[in-house]
Amino acid sequence: MSRLFGTDGVRGLVNEFLTPELAYHLGRAAASYFGQSVDRPTFLIGRDTRISGGMLENALASGICAVGGDVIILGEAPTPAIAYLVRQKGCTAGVVISASHNPYPDNGIKFFDGNGFKLPDAVEDEVEKLCTASADDDLPRPTKGDIGQIFYHQDWVEEYVNFVVSTSDALTGLKVVYDGAHGAASYVGPKILRQLGAEVVAINVEPTGTNINDNAGSTHLEGLQEAVLREGAQVGIANDGDADRCLMVDEKGQVLDGDQIMLLCGLHLKEQGKLKDNMIVGTVMSNIGFHKAAKELGMQTCSTAVGDRYVLEKMLADGYSIGGEQSGHVIFLDYNSTGDGLLTAVQTLSIMKEKGKSLSELAGLMTKYPQLLVNVRVLTKAGWETNRAIQDAIREGEEELGGNGRILVRPSGTEPLIRVMAEGPNQDQLDELCNRIGDVIRIEQGEA
């Protein structure tokens, strides 16, 4: 049996993999785990705008209460709001019900500890064991006053809004197009920007339960690019469904990814003397141009496995100030304990305002190498690392690129995909290499 937890919690198709029963057992398991150190653990729960969110929220909360934990329900709230508020309110743990950038039929459950950090693999493994015990009805069932209670505090989200606003000076004079992906920040995103004085044109901020991430947000930037040009805005901001990612569009309609945003913000921290060891933490997906530009600007970079949890682990281990992913997860450890798409947006806009420069000017610090990513949908991800045909195809591709680029093949942590990424000076060559390797993977692993 495969591991229940992926790179970002438990995630899958609702009512097929992620059922209310599973949510209930996860609630019992998590409350049992945290109840080992606290008599009556308190869980803070937030969710995005998916139609399944309320169902899973109720099932999860019931499971927590069934073993004697208390629950505080925020309702719709960005992931970084949970990470922030769980610390501020002294809760034992936090839970976010979201499948992030995935389409609406999927959902997910991810946990934070009382410090707002995602759980390490070892703790998730313990929760998974307890989840199995719950399904076997081997966990305690307290009665009378030992049963947990449910409380509601939607108003606490305003404290997160005020926190993000407090990290920046006024943004008056900036015209911003904000794309909320019909997700958890659809309300708070425009509110934060307006409180800071920006003129805001909000798009994709009308969630229906079934339109989250649908041709919107950080995974579908075409609409934002068009809106920025149409409105004559200085900048466009795109969050994903749970608002832990931020990508941006400059005044010319050009996209800035997480690498570029990290470079800008890292340099600003360096200029303020706040960049620990002059280090920015990226991942193996970070562009070669990111590493080269950072070095030229007097900074260092290092790379972790893909996943903001691994970036965070490295930052915590060595005390680094900023890190993130090309996909737009950026962690400002001096401010929050997880990727925060709203904080990232505000920090970048603040740099624009302070320096009096356009976003395209600021982005000119980095020259991006052409990079191509092909997602191969497969029947199984198991065994690709030792498959001779796949490894031969990768090696041949690397030999063709020589020292002018690289190939990275890795399985998705959340979907039945094997991702093939190539980077180098020639786009046509990258296209041929990625598709050639992808064809071999389809043959060897089965095409889904």
Catalytic residues: 100
103 DSSP assignment:
-
Q: How many CB atoms lie within 10 A of CB 133?
A: 15
Residue 354 token pair? 């302070």
- Do residues 437 and 409 make contact, with C-beta atoms less than 8 angstroms apart? yes
Contacts of 388 (CB under 8 A, 6+ apart): none
- Do residues 171 and 356 make contact, with C-beta atoms less than 8 angstroms apart? no
Q: Which residues of 308-322 are buried (b: 16+ CB within 10 A; e: fewer)?
A: bbbbbbbbeeeebbb
Long-range contacts of 379-382 (CB under 8 A, 24+ apart): 379/416, 379/445, 379/446, 379/447, 379/448, 380/445, 380/446, 381/411, 381/412, 381/416, 381/417, 381/418, 381/445
CA distance 251 to 40: 52
Q: How many CB atoms lie within 10 A of CB 196?
A: 22
DSSP readout, 71-95?
Answer: EEEEEE--HHHHHHHHHHTT-SEEE
Residue 398 token pair? 């690397």
CA distance 343 to 425: 33
- Do residues 423 and 368 make contact, with C-beta atoms less than 8 angstroms apart? no
